[in-house]
Chain A
Amino acid sequence: MIATLAWWMFGVAAVVWLAVVCATLLAGRRRRRRREQGSDGLVRVEEATDRRLERVVAVSVFATILVLAGFLAFDFAVGRALAQHPNVALTIEVTGRQWWWSARYEDPAPHRIVETANEIHVPVGQPIQLKLRAADVIHSLWVPSLNGKRDLIPGYTTTLWFRADTAGVYRGQCAEFCGLQHAAMGLYIIAEPPVQFAAWLAAASTPTAPPTDPVLVRGQRIFMRQCAVCHSISGTEARGTVGPGLSHFKSRSSIAAGTLSNTRENLTRWIRNPAAYKPGVRMPAVAIDDTELATLVAYLETLK
């Protein structure tokens, strides 16, 4: 809908621009016609010419008004259409922080609440309502292919509605300058058929089983020691809220809010020195040696 409006406006604008530029050029070209001049070289314009000019200018102004009125009407129509949304929808609470997104799927049964970060799954074809809050500064959630953007403002709760008609992965980005890593605050909205979505939701609300392999157990202990202060994993004692929740971390396609793809190598490099990828990021470089790092990563890789 917005695209149609945009193309119409662009088309009309292009025509208007062309008309004005051509009119200017034509007006300037008429040097051949002899103008009535006084002895001082000045042009004295006759009454008749003046009247004609008045009519031309008046018509042009009227045409301008008509074009603008048309734009206005079209815009109002699109605006009203976009504002229509049903009462029932899946509601997801999204909170923007410097420089990542947390998402929370509410459920009356507390054990089915899902908290995730940076990748938001939604069912295809259903209206989705995002309730947007900001934890620190103003952010703006924007997924271009799905809808316009909406600001996340501290002190306010704003709403964004959309409906994904086709399944797929839609990339979005923060669209309000929010500090050092505003450029790297991306997110993904993954639209999947309702059955798959339900399955994902069920899996996401299930805590991961505790590890049995001794390497993985050691990895989890390292996690508790170094990472649990800021990160959380459902089913463990890690309850940190400063950084993104890492439950089912391996099911995400990217890390660092859409900056890197979620591979073992990237993860290793990221943990070793986050600031190399996102200077100014709040996550510090953790002081662990390579072996410990490998163990930790091995553990994280199991969080599907």
Chain B
Amino acid sequence: MTESHDRALPVPQIMPADDVERTAAELDQTWAEPGTLWGWLTAVDHKSIGKRYIITAFLMFVAGGIEAALMRLQLARPENTLIGPDRYNQLFTTHGTTMMFLFAVPMMNAMGIYFVPLMVGARNVAFPRLNSFGYWSYFVGVALLYVSLFVNTGPDAGWFAYVPLAGPAYSPGHRVDVWAQVVTFTEIAALCAAVNIIVTAFKMRAPGMSLDRIPIFVWAQLVVAFMIVFAMPAVATGSTLMLATDRAVNMHWFNPPEGGDALLWQHVFWFFGHPEVYIIFLPAIGMVTPIVETFTRRRVFGYTALVMANITTAFFAFGLWVHHMFTTPIPELGQSLFTAASMVIAIPTGLQIFCWIATVATGRVRITVPMLFLFGFIFTFVNGGLTGVMLASVAFDKQVHDTFFVVAHLHYVLLGGGVMPLFAAFYFWFPKITGRRLGDRLGKWHFWLFVIGVNVTFFPMHILGLEGMPRRVYTYLAPTGWGSLNLLATLGAFVIAASVLVFVVNAARSWRSGELAGDNPWDASGLEWATSSPPPVYNFVYPIVVRSGHPLWETTVERPVVTGLATHRREMLLTTTFDGRPDSRHVDPEPSIWPLYLALCMGVLFIGSIFSPYFVLGGIGLSTIGMLGWARQSTEHVDRELVALPDCRLVETL
């Protein structure tokens, strides 16, 4: 073994174009992912996984929308007989479960998985095989829910599955077990994505990208990743370790006669459930800033304030959960605390909105389809945020809890605050993912139909709730007079459907034959725009050195890069956590089948557990093979490694 000193800085020099091309060609070869089915199944490229995640999540959005449309058809008239109570209960449960667990969180994770590495200047996420495993787990969850729905075993106790209704006594059969396991798979997927995003954002940034130069989009994803780490275990514990065990092996967590407690479920579920909505909302507003910056031609006002607002919102989100339980016998003093917290959380969000308005007011505005959707976001989300503040009042909530007023509120914030920025993000980043732009005219149709549809559907529901219409009812009596507003809401729902159809047509056409985009069609400032559209597998030929939070708006004549990463194997640069100084090199794994295999084993284990404990043992056995295979892949010997020992000496191995 020989010792050597740390690297010496060479004299900066312009790189000849030939050198760059040659490096790119070598990288093309080393990082190639075969275009076969096997290549697709074994892919470890975050963009490949990100794309399939986005598409699957979008399909779930459509599926959830179809469920909603069916519900609206049934509710359009009083005492309607289109859909009976059993089917209806399955529909609203699946709608909620799909939208919350299979669309919203996975979609936000997917955007993070695709864009965080690009935005921080990395070649891939920190744990590519874990990333793949996360996607396949999610996919197993999707398959489980929808196969069950089609064989009449769809869950029917609500997306929140309150006990004792969801317990063994009042929900016999396997419907709720299906729900519990869908939650397990999606929780695993979210945690895999979260760990990946945190470690990628901390350790794999571009040289010079200190913490105060990280894009707001990445900050939002990072903050949300931490939220996922602390929120998801609660729902997994509740559904898998408490509810599923009550049902399968006769435990008594929620069985009052044996000392169990029905309220415990609510605490555990909502401890997850409230942060869950911020897990959906915060990434969406993280998308607002880069879009606003690009179309006002200025750096956003209040970068530090925006970051602090995100962090504060994340913390507070964990202190609100009892506001879902105001009608239960929780002591009043406790309830009041949660009222206060639920109102206080409006402040950081308000701050973010004020910062954006300030940015728009002092920039040079260009109205594009993404900007239209951001206006729709303000128009719709602020409404929802304000009804949220109203709901925080215990007295008011005791009247409107569990009515359509809450349905109105939640859809306004989720569609306005989550989906509208998401659509804006689609129009903005579609060129980067596909190399082509989405059509502008269809985009405008999409926007107007969507904004009008959302407001026509959900505004009447505020009134319906105030008039006394409860939630989760498959029908209502004619003398209540709720028929006309319900009909209006149903019509609005079809306007929403039309708008989504327009978007799908736009996306399908543009993917094939849209206008070619080039590297940076919007003249935006983030690192993702410094490479081709779509990016090559390895993202960047060389790691780019950044000197500000807006690398592509820096006024240098040349672009500084770091050379020296090997091209014969998949090498990436790791940097220090705070300052972003180059620190070490890391070798990425080759494509692998083990993530898919392990996800299928998990499927056997958890789905099988619904039917028999032997599946658990079998699943463990099968998984062991997978873990061995995965580990073996990581233990191929490598020659001439440079090891940095803890005492700072550097040694070279044989």
Contacts and interface: CB of A to CB of B under 8 A. Distances in A.
A–B proximity contact (CB within 8 A) = yes
A9 interface: yes
Given A9-B389, A61-B354, A153-B263, A138 B332 contact: no
A23 B362 contact: no
A142 B553 contact: no
A79 B468 contact: no
B598 interface: no
A43 B86 contact: no
A148 B327 contact: yes
Interface stretch (A67-75, A188-196, A232-240): A67-75
A30 B363 CA distance: 9
Interface string B324-339: 0001110010001001
Contacts of B262: 138, 153-156
A5 B256 contact: no
Given A37-B297, A173-B468, A138 B402 contact: no
A137 B164 contact: yes
Contacts of B302: 57
Interface in B395-418: 395-399, 401-403
Contacts of B362: 35, 43, 45, 49, 53
Given A45-B298, A71-B389, A5 B471 contact: no
A35 to B, nearest CB: 5
A253 to B, nearest CB: 13
Contacts of B398: 2, 147-150
B472 interface: yes
Interface in B547-581: 553, 555
B86 A154 contact: no
Interface stretch (A85-93, A109-117, A118-126, A177-185): A177-185
B203 to A, nearest CB: 31
A65 B263 CA distance: 33
A193 to B, nearest CB: 26
Given A155-B262, A177-B165, A177-B472, A72 B343 contact: yes
A36 to B, nearest CB: 10
Given A9-B393, A40-B553, A138-B164, A151 B351 contact: no
B33 interface: no
Interface stretch (B6-14, B133-141, B473-481): B473-481
B30 interface: no
Contact of B353 (A13, A20, A155): A20
Contacts of B364: 31, 35, 37, 41, 43
Nearest to A155: B256
Contact of B390 (A9, A56, A156): A9
Contact of B553 (A21, A31, A42, A156): A42
Interface residues of A, number: 78
Given A13-B390, A180-B85, A279-B86, A149 B399 contact: yes
Contacts of B471: 175, 177
Contact of B165 (A17, A38, A78, A179): A179
Contacts of B474: 183
Residue from A21, A74, A75 with most neighbouring chain B CB atoms (10 Å): A75
A24 interface: yes
A41 to B, nearest CB: 6
Nearest to B371: A28
Given A60-B350, A183-B473, A150 B327 contact: yes
Nearest to B389: A71
A16 interface: yes
A183 B402 contact: no
Contacts of B89: 179-180
A26 B355 CA distance: 15
B469 to A, nearest CB: 9
Contact of B402 (A28, A147, A149): A149
A179 B393 CA distance: 28
B472 A23 contact: no
Contacts of A280: 85-86
Contacts of A241: none
A27 B470 contact: no
Contacts of A147: 398
Contacts of A53: 301, 358, 361-362
B548 to A, nearest CB: 12
Interface string B79-93: 000001110010000
Interface in B305-340: 305, 327-329, 332, 336, 339-340
A183 B553 CA distance: 58
B336 A79 contact: yes
A18 to B, nearest CB: 10
B43 interface: no
Contacts of B347: 61, 64-65, 68
Given A43-B296, A72-B340, A9 B360 contact: no
B350 A79 contact: no
Contact of B395 (A26, A78, A136, A178): A78
A179 B367 CA distance: 49
A72 B340 CA distance: 7
B165 A178 contact: yes
Contacts of A68: 343-344, 346-347, 389
B357 A24 contact: yes
Nearest to B396: A6
A28 B365 contact: yes
A52 to B, nearest CB: 9
Interface stretch (B99-107, B380-388, B491-499, B507-515): B380-388
B379 interface: yes
A181 B156 CA distance: 13
A75 B263 contact: no
B394 interface: yes
Residue from A44, A136, A174, A182 with most neighbouring chain B CB atoms (10 Å): A182
B41 interface: no
B468 A279 contact: no
Interface string A133-168: 000111010101001111101111010000000000
Contacts of A301: none
Given A79-B336, A79-B394, A43 B360 contact: no
Contacts of B468: 142, 144, 173
A2 B85 contact: no
B378 interface: yes
A155 B261 contact: yes
A57 B355 contact: yes
A62 B360 CA distance: 21
Contacts of B169: 136
A1 interface: yes
Interface in B253-268: 256-257, 260-263
Contact of B382 (A21, A56, A57, A148): A21
A153 B86 contact: no
Residue from B383, B387, B470 with most neighbouring chain A CB atoms (10 Å): B470
Contacts of B466: 6
Given A21-B378, A98-B170, A155-B260, 20 more contacts: A9-B396, A24-B375, A26-B361, A43-B362, A45-B301, A61-B347, A68-B346, A72-B340, A82-B395, A83-B332, A136-B170, A137-B170, A138-B163, A138-B165, A140-B327, A140-B402, A142-B468, A148-B327, A149-B327, A279-B86
CB-CB nearest 10 A-B residue pairs: A148-B398, A155-B256, A183-B473, A27-B361, A13-B386, A43-B298, A75-B393, A137-B165, A177-B472, A27-B360
Interface of B: 84-86, 89, 157-158, 162-165, 169-170, 256-257, 260-263, 296-299, 301-302, 305, 327-329, 332, 336, 339-340, 343-344, 346-347, 350-351, 353-355, 357-358, 360-365, 367, 371, 375, 378-379, 382-383, 386-387, 389-390, 392-399, 401-403, 466, 468, 470-477, 523, 553, 555
27 contacts: A6-B390, A13-B389, A13-B390, A20-B353, A20-B378, A21-B382, A24-B357, A35-B363, A42-B298, A50-B301, A53-B358, A61-B351, A64-B346, A65-B347, A68-B389, A75-B393, A75-B396, A138-B163, A138-B165, A142-B402, A148-B327, A148-B398, A149-B327, A150-B398, A155-B257, A183-B476, A279-B86
